[in-house]
Amino acid sequence: MKPRATVWALALVLATCAAAVHAQAQNQNSQSAGPSSPSPATSSPATGGGYGKRPTGAGRGVSSANDPQPYDPSQVTPDANTLAGAQLFGVGSLEHSHNVFDPSFSVSELGQTFPGASGQTYLSSATLVGGGLNFNRVWDRYRMTAIYSGGETFNRGYFNLNSPFHNLTFIQEIDWARWHLLLRDDFIASPGAAFTGSGMGGPGIIAQVASTLESSLNSIGQGFVPSETIQTGNATRYRNAVLGQAEYSFSRRSAFTVAASYGLLQFTAGSFISSRMLNAQAGYDYMLDSADSIALLASYGKIDYAGTSTSTTNYLGALAYGRRITGRWAFQVAGGPEQIRTSSASGGFQLWYASVSSALTYERRRNGYSLSFMRGLDAGSGVFQGAKSNIFTLTAHRQFTRHWTGSVTGGYAINSSIAPAGVASARFDNWFVGGSFGRQLGLHALIAFNYGVQKQNSSAACPVTGCGVNGLQQSFGMTVNWHLRPNG
């Protein structure tokens, strides 16, 4: 995808959101002018609350209250994801049954250190100018969500170049009686790996926005999107994953879900390996009680690598267990045998692997955290033609006082190239930690101080030209952020 096409795609999404807001305003005006009528009945508990209600006013403008609103689990819209679906279990959302229109603007000033090939450390600085949009629209049995953040990084010193970055997620959900349909697109354009936020401000900036994104969106399973967990040198890449999912409820306790995604990881320069992936998954869920669920699922995946005849396929069967309490916590785990097959012009081989995926989210009045772990096949992050990966991520946030907040994010990834039994694999280990501490300035502004650190180690020479240099990288700085929607 070319940069010009990317800009047009982003403009189209923003125009769609603006049109929906305009239509909502006309609808509310016509309702206020005409006679009042009873509100439609709300949807059944099986489909979550709020879908049968008339849309409420968008959360924007000036609020009369300056104090943060207390976190009340009883006001949370229940999460309706299934274990066999592509989206992970969540505790629910305060925004899923409300209309939200919240554009934002931010400026960050960062100092950065980078390891050099000769063991020296280089110092650089960067200015990030960006914006974002948090959009949610609910009407009848439909819900549309769009989350965007992006901007331009102006580097000085070690890199001395400018690089744009974009991160967009678009979701459309539909409820029809026993059916629940989901359409989703996740797009990222950046000069570095999305796992550590390289080229997008680094781990410190990511820590500022991670809790906001998690409260607005349900995270997608890592097996449905191309992986970027190996730190490479500066190289613009485009990552996109399109997902479709259909769920049919046999009863309040049981449901069948089928999901399919198509993803790409495209590099515009260097010798990095671009890839295309297809993933399909189906499964049967059964609720043991109001909190506990079990599921049986099966999936198929195929990855092709640009410019080569190599491809990898995988077959997976798994058992899953999940438990969630609306507004408090959600946990899920799935595991089973995975068969990996690789084929190329020179032949092929197959191997067996133990696949595991798990996620935990916990939320309290003033703090919360989420953990995730994935073990399985991925596309190799542009460095390998397929890799066995173990990926762990952590996000935590806390409201210390009425005005002061803090957040932390971190991750650790082990990537090993796919090789036949008895043949040594090349390996990359990559970890990062980022933290942010901020204070609200009035109703709409926030100032935050952030720090991030990341390091990559490899056991062998890089198989492509342009892998990131091993060693410690750090970033530190300050961000000023303004939102149309009031804080709290």
Indicate whether 23 pLDDT > 80. no
| Per-residue pLDDT reduced to its tens digit, 178-201 | 999 999 999 999 988 888 888 888
User: Is the pLDDT confidence value at 396 over 90?
Assistant: yes
Across the range 245-251, mean pLDDT stands at 96
Say what the pLDDT of residue 204 is.
Answer: 86
Q: What percent of the chain has pLDDT over 90?
A: 51
Mean per-residue pLDDT of the chain: 82
One-letter-per-residue 3-state SS of the chain: CCHHHHHHHHHHHHHHHHHHHHHHHHHHHHHHHCCCCCCCCCCCHHHCCCCCCCCCCCECCCCCCCCCCCCCHHHCECCCCCCCCCECCCCCECCCCCCEEEEEEEEEEEEEEEECCCCCEEEEEEEEEEEEEEEEEEECCEEEEEEEEEEEEEEECCCCCEEEEEEEEEEEEEEECCEEEEEEEEEEEECCCCCCCCCCCHHHHHHHHHHHHHHHCCCECHHHCCCCCCCECCCCEEEEEEEEEEEEECCCCEEEEEEEEEEEEEECCCCCCCEEEEEEEEEEEEECCCCEEEEEEEEEEEEEECCCCCEEEEEEEEEEEEEEECCCEEEEEEEEEEEEEEEECCEEEEEEEEEEEEEEEEECCCEEEEEEEEEEEECCCCCCCCEEEEEEEEEEEEECCCCEEEEEEEEEEEEEECCCCCCCCCEEEEEEEEEEEEEEECCCEEEEEEEEEEEEEECCCCCCCCECCCEEEEEEEEEEEEECCCCC
At 227 the pLDDT is: 87
- The stretch 136-161 carries a mean pLDDT of 86
Q: Is the pLDDT of residue 20 over 50?
A: no
The predicted pLDDT at position 199 comes to 80
Mean pLDDT, residues 264-277 taken together: 91
pLDDT of residue 341: 94
pLDDT-based confidence at residue 96 (cuts at 50, 70, 90): low
pLDDT score of 29 more than 60: no
Q: Which residue did the predictor score with more confidence, 45 or 1?
A: 1
Q: Can you tell me the mean pLDDT for 314-323?
A: 96
pLDDT on residue 217: 64
- Tens of pLDDT, residue by residue over 363-394, are 888 888 999 999 999 999 999 999 999 999 99
What is the model's pTM?
Answer: 0.81
The model's pLDDT over 430-466, given as tens digits with 9 standing for 90+, comes to 999 999 999 999 899 999 999 999 998 887 777 887 7
